[in-house]
Structure formats: structure tokens, C-alpha cells
Amino acid sequence: MSTRETWLLDLGNSRAKLARLEGGVPIDVTAFDWSRPDFETAVRKLVDAWPRPERVLAASVAAASSADRIAGLLPRGPSSELEWLRSPRERCGIRNRYAKPERLGIDRFLSMVAVHARASGAAIVVGCGTALTLDAIAAGGEHQEGLIAPSPARMRDALRGGTAIADTNPDAFTDAGGDDTAMALQAGCWAAAGALVEWFATRQRAAFGTASIWLHGGWSGPLAEWLARDGTPVERLEHAVLHGMALFCDDP
């Protein structure tokens, strides 16, 4: 297990998460919205308070401009190594079946690493953030199948931009909206996501026999609640990408 001061960066579409590695686990996890007005000031204040790193691991699915933005705020020099992770063919017990392994999102690969280390047997890894991602891994760690769809929040955004619903229902797309249309939008988008997870789980269990479902991401809590309504048992793993990165870091 590495004793070097190591930082972990999970750069998503909506947020940047920073953490320190200690005892093989991420600690001091802090998230910053890319749209935050004082983003640079807040990130710089955090990193100035941490011990200077010898190594910085970054997993990014964000736009290149966003990745460059945060890279410019990190301590630089010969003693601070910055490593951008890419999905490999095989690591930490996960075998990547993509024809071009680097095209599998690094966030998905690392989440599978984190879940595989905790699950007994086959598992389904569901990320619910800006996108809804679903990946199935066999008990031996082979990636079986993956899907990407809009998250419930993005489904609602698409309806707001592509329909005239808001013209006659001005509160329909706000969290405070409580009329029938607002409830129908919420129910429809979350039920669509839940149904996709349940269908995917049924499909995989036909192949594996059994497979546990693991959720992660900023919207995983509400999704877990929707699935619970149908009696679908799930596990939640907070900061799955960072936990996967911690394992990736120490895997030879």
C-alpha cells in the first residue's frame, strides 16, 4: 500500500471531486460544481491546505477545458506527478471487453473495480449522475455489457427544452412544482430510469443466475427510493470512482 501523499481527482460532467488517499481509502472528499462562481478560489483554498502531493491521479470524463481548468490549480513541479488515467484492458480484477479499451469511460471502469472488490458474485453497477450508466460484471470480473442513457434529471431537461409544457405549466419543471403535470414529469422520468435498471438486471440475471445491484452517483439516492417501491434490493456505494481509483493506485 502506497505511503506517498497521493491525491485523487474524479472529474465528472457536473462536478469535480478531490480527495486524499490514506490507508488505501479516499478521505477528505470535497466536491465542487463546475458552475460555482468562486470555483478557482475554492479549489485553490482547499489544495493549499492539504500536504503537498507526490502523486496526483485524475479520472476525467469532463470536457477538456474543465480538466485543464483544474489542472492549472494543482501544485506543479518535479515532486508532484500528475497521472491521467485511461481504461486499460485488464486491471484490479476487471477485464475490459471494449475493442478499444481506452474508450470505456474511466469512471465506469473504476466504479466496476470498486464494486467488484466488495460484491460476492456477479454485479450490476449503476451510475446515476448527468448520465445513467449500467454495467454488468461477471463473478470473475469480466465486463459483460454496458448501457448509457440520460439520467432522470436530463430526461426532464430534454422535455423542458423540447416541449411547450412550461408555457401552460410554469411550475412544472421546478422542485417546488406540486401540480399534476409536475408530478407526472417526476414520476415518468424516475420510473423510466427505474424500469431500465430493472430490465437490465433481469436480462443479466438470466445469464448469471444472480447479480447484486450497486448504485452510485449524485442521483443514486432518489433512484434507490424508486427501486425500493418495487421491492428491488440495491446497495449504494458513495464515491465509487474514488474508491476504485484507490484500488487502481495500489494495483501493480
Residues belonging to the active site: 107
* Best CA proximity match to 141, nearest among 122, 114, 125, 126: 122
Are residues 224 and 216 in contact, defined by beta-carbon separation less than 8 angstroms? no
| Residues paired with 232 in a beta bridge | none
Contacts 24+ apart (CB under 8 A), 17-20: 17/239, 17/241, 17/242, 18/43, 18/46, 18/47, 19/239, 19/242, 20/50, 20/51
